[in-house]
Amino acid sequence: MKTDLKKKLSWLWENMEGCRILYIIGILGTVLYNALQLTVPYFSQKIIDLFLTGENAARNLIEKRELFYELVIAMVVLTIFRTTVVYLVCMDVEHVSQTMLYRIRNVLFRKIEHQDMNFYNTYRTGDLMTRVTGDLDAVRHMVAWVIRSVVEAFSLLLATAVYFLYMDWRLTLCMFGIAPFMLAVILKFRDKVAPRHRELREKLAQMNTAAQENISGNRVVKAFAREDYEIQKFDECNRDYSETNKKTSKTWLIYFPYVETFANLMPVLLLAVGGLFIINKQITMGEYVAFSSLIWAIQNPMRMLGNIMNEFQRFSASADKVMEIYYSEPKIVDKEDAVDLPGRFAGKVEFRNVSFKYEDGKLPVLHNISFVAKPGETVAIMGETGCGKTSLIHLIPRFYEPTEGEVLIDGVNVADMKLAQLRKNIGLATQDVLLYSDTIDGNIAYGDSHLSQKEVVKFAKYSAAAQFISKMPEGYETIIGERGVGLSGGQKQRISLARALAVKPAILILDDTTSAVDMETEKQIQHSLNELDFPCTKIIIAQRISTTKFADKILVIQDGRITESGTHEELIAKKGYYYSLVALQTGEEV
Ligand code: GTP
Ligand code: MG
């Protein structure tokens, strides 16, 4: 997404809400301290003309000594005042930029949190991280430095121009004659450097992604002894980034000599033309000194323009990326006329001719799926890997929307429900277990932070986790995850099951949740699932016959289609796929 500069600046302005006045004060302060820069040459000019080189210099020094002291003191006082203004402006602008950054960062995080699954499939973690760190810093830099530098450059140029014109307009015109050439060079540079910054930003995101994937996937790297390969891969990303950085800097080096030549021509011009003016008595010596002591006020802004342009392009590339997330909207949201269902659901789940295709996928994953799970029933879903089981259950909490057909709960299409109400009624233990770096207690009570300790223990018992938890060094207070105690696959699954149960859902969805636990523990879990002290419809994906055997209904999915459905006995009698599975798992003909 490429947004024009005006839009980006108004976006900054929008996010400065609450500190806009402070920012304007900062900008006015910038103008003020730049205008104050001119006071020193002004006073020097007066001192030189009156007390050093003028016709009556010697007499003035005796007769107007007071004035001399006054001029010197005024110079000192104004310098101190100017320094104070600079200090206050820096503090003020820093405050504004940090407040704005804090606000944008929170909005970005909120946006990312509310996104659909599709969003997470599209964006790489490293890229998202780059947006909320490096890119945001470029945005901050724009507010804290670039905009101020532009104001500084222009106010300095303008103030100098006015002062020069006041002294002698002809000499001023000669000095500013160089400006158009300089501007042409800078504009050419801008066109060259803009694509470089976009490239630079992309390379940084690539490098961050490589680092992030390696850190989180370090075990795999180690298991396959691929450290050298990964180091080399990272080195390539790093070199790519570094080379692009160098290329970007070199772009400026091509233009730099032109800018410098024009800038350095100014003193030469002043010497030649100014000298002539003095000889012709068109300007005084003091005025000449004022001109020459202020020539930097024209040179510097012109030199700075290159850098400013560079920063503008960096901001532009980064703001595109940040604003893309800032203005992104999830597609799956509450409908305006969504049905309000504040109470607990009865738990009837119905699929009506549901077909589904991933947005980025080529082929449909589910075809014409229809089934009903009555309140309190257990429906088991079986099928070989990749047949569409996870995709199917993800349609219930509306992580994705069916391409055709409807998913209904208690007779209401999930698309017509409020997302928060729908999801509050669902307890989901996902196939890839993710636990937080928190205590076991905190992980189990994740969906309901008011859960009492007693209840946490109860749910841990339901999921057959209580036993191993009590053996942990600090029991339920043991920190697990990245910075704590490691857990086995089966232990993680059991905590994830306890977490899903702890919200006392009307619909419990388990995606292969007992695949890593032993048969004995699985039996215990099954037993407790039947003994839950709240009504609950269970949809269980499983590979083992021992899990599916007691379900009220078993659905066999093959290539995204339900090919068999019925109870254990019915399916065995059918002598189809389920029957062959039973034979395979029990090792005997049934
Ligand atoms: P197992 O968990 O291995 O038993 O498989 P599953 O039955 O749960 O399969 P799943 O529903 O995860 O995937 C079904 C098909 O959808 C597979 O062919 C996947 O390649 C495809 N698929 C899964 N997730 C995505 C996704 O996010 N995007 C796209 N485009 N395809 C996906
Ligand atoms: Mg799956």
Query: For position 243, what pLDDT does the model report?
Result: 94
Query: Which of 115, 358, 360 most suits a substitution to test ligand 1, by most atoms within 8 Å of the C-beta?
Result: 358
Torsion of CA 72, 77, 82, 87, to 10 degrees: 140
Query: For position 222, what pLDDT does the model report?
Result: 84
Domain ranges of the chain: 19-326, 376-402+414-586
Q: Which ligand is nearest to the CA of 384?
A: 1
- Output the CATH code of domain 376-402+414-586: 3.40.50.300
The answer to whether 477 touches 440, Cβ cutoff 8 Å, is yes
DSSP helix/strand/coil, 108: helix
Q: Which ligand is nearest to the CA of 118?
A: 1
Distance 386 CA to ligand 1 centre (A): 5
Distance 497 CA to ligand 1 centre (A): 22
Amino acid type, 39: T
Distance 381 CA to ligand 1 centre (A): 15
How far apart are the C-alpha atoms of 132 and 106, rounded to whole Å?
Answer: 10
**Among 425, 430, 422, 498, CA closest to 465:** 498
How far apart are the C-alpha atoms of 301 and 190, rounded to whole Å?
Answer: 16
The answer to whether 418 touches 393, Cβ cutoff 8 Å, is no
Distance 390 CA to ligand 1 centre (A): 7
Residue nearest to atom 24 of ligand 1 (CA): 391
DSSP helix/strand/coil, 345: coil
Query: For position 482, what pLDDT does the model report?
Result: 63
Residue nearest to atom 5 of ligand 1 (CA): 386
Token digits of residue 428: 């989901």
Q: Which ligand is nearest to the CA of 395?
A: 1
How far apart are the C-alpha atoms of 364 and 386, rounded to whole Å?
Answer: 12
Residue nearest to atom 19 of ligand 1 (CA): 386
How far apart are the C-alpha atoms of 408 and 417, rounded to whole Å?
Answer: 10
Residues 6+ apart with CB under 8 A from 408: 348, 349, 350, 351, 352, 414
Distance 565 CA to ligand 1 centre (A): 21
Distance 511 CA to ligand 2 centre (A): 7
Cβ count near 259 (within 10 Å): 21
Query: For position 483, what pLDDT does the model report?
Result: 56
Which residues does a 6 A CB cutoff place in the pocket of ligand 1?
A: 121, 358, 360-361, 365, 383, 385-391, 431
Query: For position 291, what pLDDT does the model report?
Result: 84
How far apart are the C-alpha atoms of 438 and 458, rounded to whole Å?
Answer: 19
**Among 70, 285, 283, CA closest to 166:** 283
Measured from the Cα of 117, ligand 1's closest atom is: 27
Measured from the Cα of 121, ligand 1's closest atom is: 27
Distance 558 CA to ligand 1 centre (A): 13
Q: What is the pLDDT of residues 313-364, one digit of tens each?
A: 889 999 999 999 999 999 999 999 999 999 999 999 999 999 999 988 888 9
Query: Which of 389, 431, 511 most suits a substitution to test ligand 1, by most atoms within 8 Å of the C-beta?
Result: 389
**Domain 19-326 matches domain 376-402+414-586 at the CATH topology level:** no
Token digits of residue 514: 């007992």
Residue nearest to atom 26 of ligand 1 (CA): 358
Q: Which residues of the chain have pLDDT under 70?
A: 1-3, 482-485, 588-590
Q: What is the pLDDT of residues 218-254, one digit of tens each?
A: 888 888 888 899 999 999 999 999 999 999 888 888 8
Distance 408 CA to ligand 2 centre (A): 22
Query: For position 2, what pLDDT does the model report?
Result: 55
Query: For position 83, what pLDDT does the model report?
Result: 93
Q: Please, is 55 exposed, middle or buried when counting C-beta atoms within 10 Å of its C-beta (0-12, 13-18, 19+)? A: exposed
Residue nearest to atom 23 of ligand 1 (CA): 391
Token digits of residue 1: 């997404």
Task: For strands 426-429 and 378-383, give the pairing.
Answer: unpaired
Measured from the Cα of 359, ligand 1's closest atom is: 30
Distance 264 CA to ligand 1 centre (A): 66
Residue nearest to atom 3 of ligand 1 (CA): 385
Measured from the Cα of 394, ligand 1's closest atom is: 11
Token digits of residue 56: 């009556």
How far apart are the C-alpha atoms of 237 and 409, rounded to whole Å?
Answer: 49
Query: Which of 360, 367, 385, 391 most suits a substitution to test ligand 1, by most atoms within 8 Å of the C-beta?
Result: 391
Query: For position 379, what pLDDT does the model report?
Result: 96
Q: Does domain 19-326 have CATH number 1.20.1560.10?
A: yes
To which residue do tokens 């600090």 refer?
474
